[in-house]
Amino acid sequence: MKLVHVRRAWESYRELAVPVDAGVVQVEESRQAFFAGAAALFFLLTRPVEKGGILTAGPDADDESQATMDGLESELAGYAAEKLRKVTT
């Protein structure tokens, strides 16, 4: 199952906040900033407090919640890999 929560949130954000006549560079930089913010929030929510997170880890998360969090991590990692490929080529 491929989750696309962050992409859908970006698309909604783009419709609401990025000017319709924005150039390619403005759109890409806005997208990059949006995904960076999403990644920062994700890491705050998933890292242990001792590693900069804001939540205490515990065995209380159910399987569906964990799958959603895993999907978000995978989606953000995919975006980062895409950006890295563009920078290194």
Q: What is the pLDDT of residues 26-68, one digit of tens each?
A: 999 999 999 999 999 988 888 877 788 776 556 666 677 777 7
Under a CB-based contact definition with an 8 Å cutoff, are residues 83 and 39 in contact?
no
Under a CB-based contact definition with an 8 Å cutoff, are residues 54 and 44 in contact?
yes
Give the residue extent of every domain in the chain: 5-88
Report helix, strand or coil for 17: helix
pTM: 0.71
Q: What is the pLDDT of residues 58-75, one digit of tens each?
A: 666 667 777 778 888 899
Contacts 24+ apart (CB under 8 A), 77-81: 79/6, 79/35, 79/39, 80/35, 80/39
Question: Which tokens sit at 13?
Answer: 């954000």
Show the CA angle centred on residue 70, arms to residues 55 and 54, nearest 5°: 10
